[in-house]
Structure 1
Amino acid sequence: MASSSSPSLDRSRADPPATAGWGELFSGRNGWRALALTGGVALHAVNVHIVTTVLPSVVREIGGLDWYAWSTTLFVLGSILGAALSVRLLAVLGPRGACLAALAVFSAGSIGCALAPAMPWMLAGRTVQGLGGGLLAALSYGLIQLVFAPRLWPRAVALVSGMWGVATLCGPAVGGLFAQGGHWRWAFWTLLPVAAAQALLVTLQLRPAAGVRHERPASAPRIALPQIALLLASVLVIAASEFGASLPAQAAGVALGLALGIAATRVDRASAVRLLPTGAYSIAAPLGAIYASVALLLIGTTTEIFVPYFLQLLHGHTPLAAGYLTAAMAGGWSVGSLLSSGRGGAGADRMLRAGPVVCTLGLAALAVLLPAPGHLPAGLETLAVALALAAVGLGVGIGWPHLLTRVMSRAPAGEEGLASASITTVQLYGMAVGAAVAGLVANAAGLTQPGGVEGARSAAVWLFASFAIAPALVVLLARRVVSATRADS
């Protein structure tokens, strides 16, 4: 599921004493610059919801049902790499050059998806799309400090983050309408004129003559490539384990993938260029429990990738209706974050504890509702599914602002900036692992063998029931985080 969270700004710089109003952000040159930054995130976010909606139509035409989850897995892996490379790209090419390069990569991936004659081609295109999307998203946040005055930073961050909400409305509509008309390829082609318009806006608004200047550092920033390579390899091995000939072979593949993930943590601890701050790898420590909670919650939400397929095959919904029902999960996340973000103290503690409970109940309800349609009147059943999907997102959203806040408050002195940036890495890694395991569970439960309605029902039961374990574990971790906070107060 596309997240509504964002990398935080560099905390090593002083926070502005006052926040400007929305009117100043949208007025004059600031308004055009804001559009130049938000457009990249909007393009990336809308694409996420478009693909979720059209993917059932894609596999019906070009095949590859057994590779269904790989579309998300490889996209997220590309995003991880793109986000990591964005710092160096910005240093080498400057704001305008970096954004144009990211748009070019994203467009190339979109063309590959639109032309895909078979699933391997589609997966290659999705990987390139993810690389470009990861660059666009990371650059949009990273450029805020270069483009706007400090008093506008909070508004700019909120605006860029809000593009995920806009995508919830636009993405399913674009994907659903083309899929229903039998023209899913045009959903990808439509991204190109939007990318071209964004490139023109970036060219005009981020040029040095427009006041956007960037001093190149003496040397390009170092990147934690060994750790990132191990994380990417761990996800790929877990995903590939679904093709094991037997259950023991699949289990061995998952174990190997997890071992590579552990190796990444060992390398990171000893590295001069780190991904996570000190204390992040001990689940017994509050900071480690928070990072684990972030990853587990994201794993739970990756069940979203199969929802449109189940809704169309088992419930008979059109692609458009299935797309908007699926978007209820992202909508619940956004609403939950907005309603919960103003709470503090005991109220924030309650949100942290209640969130994973709501998420767990939503996934458990989907394990009952999606596999066996017809037990309720059609309208009531659709409403129940929508509420269950929204509950999954709501459970994540109401605790999300307080998890991120505690990352900053628990970060060791001098590592606040690293802790802030690492949230995105943990989030994307959780999504990638979740998508890989979702494909493994669904295929093992019968999605492709025996396939059809019978296989989809079995896959839906096992997928949502097993993934409910992830937020259930967060219930325990949340208690530890809350207890630690109270002990320090």
Structure 2
Amino acid sequence: MPLTPLRLRLLVASLLTVSFLGALDHTVVSTSLATVAGELGALEHMSWVVVGYTLASTVLLPVLGKLGDVVGPRSIFLVSLVAFLAASLACGFAPSMVWLIVGRVLQGMSSAGLQLMSQTIMAQVTTPRQRPRYMAIIGAAFPIAILIGPVLGGLITDFWGWQWIFWVNLPFGVAALVLAVFAIPHIAPGARRSFDGAGAVTFTIALVALVLAVTWLPDPGLRLGALVATTIAVLAFAGFVLAEMRAPEPIVPFRLLRNRTVGASIALSAIIGVGIFSITAYLPTYFQMAYRTSATVSGLVPIATVFGMLVSNLTTGHLASRTGRYRAFPILGTALGAMGLVVMAALPVGLPLWVPMLVMFVVGVGTGAFMSLIITVVQSAVPSSETGAITATTNLVRQIGATVTTAIIGGVVGFGVGALLPGGLDAASLTPQQVHGMDAATQLLVAGIYRDVFAPIFLALSAVYLVGFIAALMMPQGRLSDEHVSAAATEPLPA
């Protein structure tokens, strides 16, 4: 349903604002955690301020995606935005860590609705040809939030107090709500209105158990709990697959994977989570230890990576809208990502920091080339009645891939460094500050160990991008349409 240019601009402004607020709440809290935990007196539960948000937002992705198809994305978006603002207000007034964690869970749940419905609404009000440009603008919220979130969180905590990390959402969120009420048109839901309750329940149990297992596994005292959680996750995932195979309208439409465009796009989305989101969190540690930089300087490498993603995301979105072509971007992007990570594995320690910054910038450029674009492509390949479900599935595999791979990399680094360090050095308590105060020979030894541990990780992630390159090659040739699609869609039309 086409909108007037003014109404479309107001809609984009509203969706970009709420997408940025949701993405920012992933990153802005990190620099204030120590202050929050100290003031609320619950250091042992500090990690759940982040884990609760991430887990809630991931669990509800397929549920809210399908609800958007059943009742209409406008209703889910507006309810999610009101809930997000209420949860932000509650977090700021939290008198205890338990209250804050509950508020963060509610924030995460509503953030999932904002993220998904922003993409779903944009799919309903634009043509496939217009969509990449607008999706790239909305998709820019996440890399921008990564770039400025930690710094902004530190400034707000130091000058205003940690409560304002949550309260700052209110004026911007209310403004976005006013714009959304006016700009978002009524979008009729699909004709069939059944909901996959069994799939929603089994998926929630499976994912919660999986996250608990990954969280508990590194703690020797919680290994038994991790084993039990893993068993529950496996059984629940099996039940989820059975439920999806039997449901008339599953929350994760497996049958659509037979469409080559859908299958390739979902694989590419998973590659983003596994291949780049997972390693970014460990880059500062690697450069502090292997390149002996300060904590501040080590942050320049992930910043370069994310900046490359941002530039490429906006550029390819504009080019895809202008030409209607899209297949070349994931092919080129995955190739750049694979080559860049191979170079990272081969780089010797001791080089000037601008060298790995440049390499990771190239990896970011490659990833950004298809980061938002594949959402448009996969939406264009399914019936409009399945837009919410397929958008949710595409985002879901990205987040699960990032979560699981991040935990795996953490385990590999911990085990590998611990096994290679000489006697007298404890990997569990070794800090960059301690290493920087040691003699030159020991510093060089530790740097070599970290390089030897991270090199195979970079190579493994390069192989992941190579899988994405193959998936991109399997994507059919096509051209994005200039027409609004309301009926069933199949493979993109050949050029």
TM-score (norm 2): 0.68
Q: Check if 1:440 corresponds to 2:411.
A: yes
5+ residue gaps, structure 1: 1-13
8 Å contact from structure 1 (residues 109, 128) kept in 2 = no
1:43 is the counterpart of 2:45 = no
2:361 counterpart of 1:394: no
Verify: 1:236 aligned to 2:212, yes or no: yes
Distance 1:329 1:414, change over 3 A: same
Aligned pairs, number: 447
Q: C-alpha distance in 1, partners of 2:355/2:409?
A: 23
Displacement after TM superposition at 1:225 (Å) = 0.9
In structure 1, distance between residues paired with 2:138 and 2:120 = 11
Partner of 2:218: helix, strand, or coil?
helix
Q: Residues 296 and 264 from structure 1, CA distance in 2 versus in 1: closer, same or farther, beyond 3 angstroms?
A: farther
Instruction: Name the counterpart of 1:195.
Output: 169
Cα distance in 2 for residues equivalent to 1:469 and 1:458: 18
Aligned counterpart for 1:293 among listed residues 249, 268, 275: 268
* Residues 103-112 or 268-277, more deviating: 103-112
Residue type matched to 1:422 in 2?
T
Name the amino acid aligned to 2:151: A
2:243 matched residue in structure 1: 267
Q: SS where residue 397 of structure 1 aligns?
A: helix
CA contact (8 A) 1:96 1:202 kept: no
1:478 to 469, 478, 481: 469
Is the 8 Å Cα contact of residues 31 and 154 (structure 2) preserved in structure 1? yes
1:4-36 residue CA offsets vs partner (Å, 9 max, x unmatched): xxxxxxxxxx6x4xx865x6644xxx3xx6544
**1:31-79 deviation line (CA, Å, top 9, x unaligned):** xx654433221112223343456679999999989997x7765543221
Whole-angstrom distance in 1 between the partners of 2:429 and 2:158: 26
Residue aligning to 2:252: 276
- Which residue of 315, 326, 340 corresponds with 1:362? 340
Give distance in 2, aligned partners of 1:137 and 1:226. Answer: 21
Q: Distance in 2 between matches of 1:366 and 1:388?
A: 7
What is the CA deviation profile of residues 217-252 of structure 1, one whole-angstrom value per residue up to 9, with x for unaligned ones?
999873541353123433432443333589999899
Q: After the TM superposition, which residues 133-212 of structure 1 pair with which residues of structure 2 at under 5 Å, given as runs?
A: 133-142=111-120, 154=131, 157-175=135-153, 177=155, 188-202=162-176, 204-206=178-180
| Contact 1:77-1:432 within 8 A present in 2 as well | no
Residue 77 of structure 1 pairs with residue 55 of structure 2: yes
Largest Rg, 1 or 2: 2
Shift of 1:197: 0.4
1:104, distance to aligned residue in structure 2 (A): 1.9
Counterparts of 2:274 and 2:104, CA distance in 1: 20
Partner of residue 313 from structure 2, selected from 337, 359, 362: 337
Structure 2: which 5+ residue stretches go unaligned? 419-426, 436-445, 479-490
What percentage of aligned pairs have identical amino acids? Answer: 18
* Cα distance change, pair 437–231 in 1 and its aligned pair in 2 (3 A): same
Question: Residue 174 of structure 1 aligns to which amino acid in structure 2?
Answer: L
Describe the shift of the 1:253–1:310 C-alpha distance in structure 2 as closer, same or farther (beyond 3 A). Answer: farther
Q: Which secondary structure does the structure 2 equivalent of 1:485 belong to?
A: coil
> Any conservation in 1 of the 2:120–2:387 contact (CA below 8 Å)?
no
> SS at 1:429's partner residue?
helix
Is residue 2:434 matched to residue 1:451? no
| CA separation of 1:300 and 1:462: change in aligned 2, threshold 3 A | farther
1:430, distance to aligned residue in structure 2 (A): 1.9
Which amino acid counterpart does residue 274 of structure 1 have in structure 2?
P
Is contact 1:236-1:257 (8 Å) kept? no
CA distance in 2 between counterparts of 1:193 and 1:245 reads: 37
The answer on whether the counterparts of 1:38 and 1:160 sit within 8 Å (CA) in structure 2 is yes
